[in-house]
Amino acid sequence: MTAAPAPIAGAAVSVVRADYANPVHAKAVVDMLDAYAQDPAGGGKPLSPYAREHLVRELAARPTAYSVLAFDGEQVVGLVNCIEGFSTFACKALVNVHDVAVAASHRGRRVGERMLALAETIARERGACKMTLEVLSGNRSANTLYARIGYVSYQLDPALGHAQFLQKWLD
């Protein structure tokens, strides 16, 4: 088992795997995701009352989901939500990093990097062959972070180009 990343010297921020049964962690997951949703990078709209009420219960009901939180003292300052999928080509688990959120007050302090390191440790413990994530092309700071820690654009054959992330709403 790989140890969690060491804290940055002088950093008061702690990074932990979220325990959905812990009321402090549950509230932190919802509050941080809501703050991210309201940010322009998250769509600029708050979570619906339904999502706020049911999010943690629904995450906890999925054994393939896990979250990582960052706290500065008792204040939540970061969240990473991950959901395990399956790579048919590798015939192994993969982990999709679904949300990465860092409070504006703590951006540029490597909080996201530290949360993603713990998320990777958990993915490795689960036997995942890779991690995936989506990022808006205009989110320079996030793209810089992801490149620095080893994420690259997905492609199988350079002649066919890079993969695109598409969506189709079902409701």
Span 106-156, pLDDT tens digits: 999 999 999 999 999 999 999 999 999 999 888 999 999 999 999 998 888
Interaxial angle between packed helices 23-38 and 49-60, expressed in degrees from 0 to 180 and rounded to the nearest 10: 130
User: Which residues face 151 on adjacent strands?
Assistant: none
Sheet with 13-17: list strands edge to edge.
Answer: 13-17, 65-72, 75-87, 92-102, 131-133
Global confidence as pTM: 0.89
What are the pLDDT digits (tens) for 42-81? 999 999 999 999 999 999 999 999 999 999 999 999 999 9
Q: What number of residues does the chain have?
A: 171
Q: What fold characterizes domain 13-149?
A: Aminopeptidase (3.40.630)
Q: Would you list the domain boundaries of the chain?
A: 13-149
- What pLDDT does residue 31 have? 98
E strands within 32-133?
Answer: 65-72, 75-87, 92-102, 131-133
